Amino acid sequence: MLKDNSQLKLPLSPYQGLYDVIIPEKHLLRRIKENIDFSFVNPMLRKQYCENFGRPAKEPEMMFKLMFLKKLYDLSDERLISSAQTDMAFKYFLDLEPEAAMIDPSLLTKFRKTRITEDILEEMLKETVQQALEKGLIKSGTIIVDSTHTNASVRAKSPTQILRDLSKQLRKEIYKKAFELSEKFPEKPSIEAGLEEEIAYTQELLSVLEEGIAAGGDKKIQKLYKKIYELLETESIREIRSKDDEDARFGHKTATSTFYGYKNHLAMTEERLIVGINVTPGGDPDGQQLPDLIEKAKKNGIEVTEVIGDMAYVSDENLNECGEGIELIAKTNTAVAAAADGGLDEGFSYNKDAGMMQCPSGELAMRVEKREAKNGNQYNRYVFSKRKCKKCPMKDQCRVGKSKSQCYSVTQASEKNKARLEFETSERFQERMKIRHRIEEKNGELKEAHGLRRADSTGLFAMELQMYFTAFAVNIKRITKLAVPQMR
């Protein structure tokens, strides 16, 4: 329940004058407090609280500001609360008296899980853009797009090991709470068993335990049973790499290095303010996110007239999405240009970080061969691993999996693309591409200064929450810097 503060008068602390003595005029938090309006928070979060029942909640604005401080200074919940108890700049920013006691760190977890939704995250980002627009800090319709990866908070395992761990966890709970059911356990497969054998064993285990678990009524066992059953029923077990984080996926940084986690796709203005965000599992291609990023930038108040990105963003779909009103400044990669007439098969994409074709299951081609057809047309032949293709669950649905050679060929760019390629050699194109480095610098800032290198928690929504609050923090910092020239 929210407090009614309309008639509330705050007591005056005898120590209030400490803030004027201790906190310098140029302190970042004093500058932010003077230039950024946080009054939008309480109305934005009001729908997340019960109007008439329950204990009075801690002020949403204060909780929101704590989340902002957490990302601004890259602090754990415990370290944040400890610092807020003793740091006068923190208390001044939070509108607290110098002697006020801080909340328990556990309330931050509750706030994240019960008060923040995807809609609120979008509203939060939009608010920073609107305040920047009102101050006249955004002057163009250019957005720069790119992605940056975040490593998952858990280690990746093979699907076989994940399924083995889950069945072991189920047996352990049954030994503890329903020992009589343990007599029905089938014989476990050997430690060398593959995924198919492990799936068969787990299906048999669930089958013999189904009635007993339903009749027993133990919620924890039933929840675990349901989780394993759904993973097998939907065949999701073949894709996940952690039983604790089912959304994280492998992605490629280069042709020889991978990461396990998520991708944060960003749209940023020339003034280095983030205006659009999409968070996906690590294996999702960058180029497919462009329409969403443009749409989100527009919803947040940007009249998009130009998009600047790397070669991952040039495709027929994206060029059509931009249309005549938006100019796409990005270099064409050979794979996409080659497929411009007919388009790449569904699920295939060109991974610009690795410089190689990527199949629907996220595997990279091992090499590319330049060849010439009998009719004189040039084409690129991407060769995939036969060993991986044979084990792939998508082999019967994939053009490469169905072929004998496990290859994917695309014809070189046709006459249709010559105008585009000619445009990319123009002086204007080259000049505009020079500012693309700004988003790479922003990605570095997000990771090095604000903790985006590693996920705080598990799951796609937890990653979205981390990314949006981090973007909110860097936007507020940037707005303050642009609004107060002395801080430059």
Report pLDDT digits (tens) over 113-156.
Answer: 999 999 999 999 999 999 999 999 999 999 999 999 999 999 99
- Among the ranges 315-329, 420-434, 456-470, which has the highest mean pLDDT value? 456-470
Instruction: Please determine, for residue 479, whether its predicted confidence score (pLDDT) is greater than 60.
Output: yes
Give the mean pLDDT of 147-176.
95
pLDDT tier at 416, thresholds 50, 70, 90? low
Distance CA 68, CA 438 (A): 23
Give the mean pLDDT of 360-364.
85
- Poorest-confidence range of 98-102, 197-201, 282-286, 482-486? 482-486
pLDDT, position 395: 78
Closest among 343, 412, 405 to 373, alpha carbons compared: 412
Distance CA 240, CA 160 (A): 10
pLDDT tier at 56, thresholds 50, 70, 90? low
User: Which uninterrupted H or E stretch holds 50?
Assistant: none
pLDDT tier at 390, thresholds 50, 70, 90? confident
Q: Is the dihedral of CA 151, 359, 329, 278 positive or negative?
A: negative
Distance CA 481, CA 282 (A): 32
pLDDT tier at 70, thresholds 50, 70, 90? very high
pLDDT, position 421: 78
Q: Are 442 and 470 in contact (CB under 8 A)?
A: no
pTM of the model: 0.83
Residue-wise pLDDT for 417-440, tens only, equals: 667 778 888 999 999 999 999 999
Distance CA 422, CA 181 (A): 72
Give the mean pLDDT of 96-108.
92
Q: Are 327 and 387 in contact (CB under 8 A)?
A: no
When comparing pLDDT for 487 and 475, which is higher?
475
Distance CA 434, CA 470 (A): 26
Closest among 415, 443, 156, 168 to 282, alpha carbons compared: 156
Which pairing describes strands 258-269 and 274-281: parallel, antiparallel, or unpaired?
A: antiparallel
Distance CA 4, CA 57 (A): 11
Closest among 87, 96, 41 to 64, alpha carbons compared: 41
Q: Tokens 């020889």 appear where?
A: 256
Structure tokens at 30: 């004093």
Query: At 179, is the secondary structure helix, strand, or coil?
Result: helix
Reported residue count of the chain is 488
Q: Is the dihedral of CA 215, 218, 223, 225 positive or negative?
A: negative
Instruction: Please determine, for residue 373, whether its predicted confidence score (pLDDT) is greater than 60.
Output: yes
pLDDT, position 181: 94
pLDDT tier at 354, thresholds 50, 70, 90? confident
Give the mean pLDDT of 217-233.
94
Distance CA 201, CA 373 (A): 50
Structure tokens at 463: 């990653």
Instruction: Please determine, for residue 378, whether its predicted confidence score (pLDDT) is greater than 80.
Output: no
When comparing pLDDT for 386 and 463, which is higher?
463
